[in-house]
């Protein structure tokens, strides 16, 4: 796994100008529900419970549906579905997406909103899939409108 993470980090730095780092994330397996719980816990720490859009309302995947991987900034951990094998371009693209978040985090990059942070992650994931003749829509059902909503502030 370490060699794959290093390869992806190097590719991301070369292809997308993301800051390189020798610090690799931890990688753990977790169910979609466990990932959603980690995400909910982190969001709840950042926002008061009474704030509009707090906790469960912030993330469209808060219930765990459609969550295959996630990155936790606080612990610098990538969580992958227990069934993840990394043997397909689609599965490896999930690791690419989350490695973008790791590089952003380690570099201390700041964003106006969570959607803005996703732009580079989806752009890198799309480019990775295209290396293998695949698409975000074909592999994950992420059409251009969905991508627009997920990668912009105000949605």
155 residues of the chain, pLDDT tens digit each: 999 999 999 999 999 999 989 999 999 999 989 998 888 877 776 554 433 333 333 343 434 456 789 999 999 999 999 999 999 999 999 999 999 999 999 999 999 999 999 999 999 999 999 999 999 999 999 999 999 999 999 86
For the chain, domain boundaries: 2-150
Cβ neighbours around 134 below 10 Å, total: 17
CA distance 67 to 33: 8
Q: Give pTM, 2 decimals.
A: 0.84
83 Cβ neighbours under 8 A, 6+ residues apart: none
What is the edge-to-edge ordering of all strands in the sheet holding 77-80?
26-29, 77-80, 69-72
CA distance 56 to 38: 11
């Amino acid at each position: 796994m370490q060699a794959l993470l290093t390869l992806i980090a190097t590719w991301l730095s070369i292809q997308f100008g993301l800051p390189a780092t020798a610090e690799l994330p931890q990688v753990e397996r977790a169910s979609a529900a466990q990932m959603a719980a980690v995400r909910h816990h982190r969001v709840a720490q950042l926002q008061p419970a009474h704030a509009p859009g707090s906790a469960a309302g912030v993330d469209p995947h808060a219930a765990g549906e459609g969550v295959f991987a996630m990155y936790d900034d606080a612990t610098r951990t990538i969580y992958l579905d227990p069934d993840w094998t990394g043997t397909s371009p689609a599965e490896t693209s999930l690791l690419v997406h989350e490695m973008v978040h790791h590089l952003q985090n380690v570099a201390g990059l700041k964003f106006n909103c969570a959607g803005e942070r996703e732009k580079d992650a989806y752009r890198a994931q799309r480019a990775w899939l295209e290396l293998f003749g695949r698409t975000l829509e074909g592999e994950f059902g992420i059409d251009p409108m969905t991508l627009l909503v997920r990668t912009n502030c105000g949605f």
